Amino acid sequence: MLDSTDAHVVVEGLVKRYGDRTILHGLDMTIGRAETLVVIGGSGAGKSTLVRHLIALERPTAGRIVIDGTDIASLSDVQLAKARRRFGMVFQKYALFDSMSVFDNVAFPLREQTKLSERDIREKAMTKLKELGVDHAASLMPSQISGGMAKRVGIARALVMEPELLIYDEPTSGLDPVTSRTVDALIEEMRERFGVTSVVITHDMVSAFDIADRIAMLIKGRVVALGSPAEVLAVDNADVQGFISSSGVDVKRFEHRGNRKTAAELAARARERKAGRAE
């Protein structure tokens, strides 16, 4: 259980209905600062709806989403725009702007949200593109690059602002296994270097068990399992066990996670860095 001071995102009794259809049935969960929470579940379980609420792209029918102590559903448009500067999102369908080049897509949030010079913007955007291995495509338009490259550009655009809360909607879908592991490593790096809180939706169970501090499993809009990967593996629920076993995940992979820093350690470091910046 998380200490209330470590809580970055708190979801309380979240209900979402579209007409007669109820998508989310009163979800409760707390996401700690610098924690990576992986949300898994079958299609139509409500995973995407949940993350769209976390970034206020949807308003709850009932319940609250509290981020850094603020109920984001209660914010005005202007307040919400300010709050969103601390968020980043990697979209399932990349969501790159068709009318801009790859470079301009990555530079876009820097141009919109910072007062950096064009030279600094170029440097930051190109560094991020290089980290993702797509710097050679900087001058191309999104329609001229492959799906895998577009995904990496989408990730570069979300990471370039170094947000405090990063939401990934299927970050490894459509990528080859090698690139998928690169993306996993990037998610880990953002957590380790900047103490970023990450919420990751994925069907890639290797990725889920590699990067998760905790895993939440959703079935038909309800959380049926929430805990560390080991705890989720031990949950006595036929649906959970069926989902994990059918994915063929290798449980032994957890042995490689021994040197991983805890969310609490990283959160403390992130707080120190923030305090340093404020001074």
Q: Confirm if 148 and 174 have CB atoms less than 8 A apart.
A: yes
Q: At closest approach, how far in Å is the CB of 77 from other proteins?
A: 7
* Binders in 153-182 for other proteins, by CB under 8 A: 161
* Binders in 208-267 for other proteins, by CB under 8 A: none
Applying CB under 8 A, the span of 33-41, 77-85, 172-180, 262-270 interacting with other proteins comes to 77-85
Q: Of 56, 1, 64, 69, which is closest to residue 27 (Cα–Cα)?
A: 64
With binding defined as CB under 8 A, does residue 96 bind other proteins? yes
The CA distance from 49 to 45, in Å, is 9
Query: Three-state SS for 216?
Result: strand
The CA distance from 152 to 145, in Å, is 11
Toward other proteins, which CB reaches closer, 95 or 116? Answer: 95
Q: At closest approach, how far in Å is the CB of 66 from other proteins?
A: 18
Q: Which is it for the CA torsion 149, 150, 153, 159, positive or negative? A: negative
Of 66, 75, 95, 141, the residue at the interface with other proteins (CB under 8 A) is 95
With binding defined as CB under 8 A, does residue 279 bind other proteins? no
With binding defined as CB under 8 A, does residue 97 bind other proteins? yes
Contacts of 155 (CB under 8 A, 6+ apart): 90, 132, 168, 171, 183, 186
Q: Given the rule CB under 8 A, which residues bind other proteins? A: 52, 55, 57, 77, 81-82, 84-85, 87-89, 91-98, 108-109, 112-113, 161
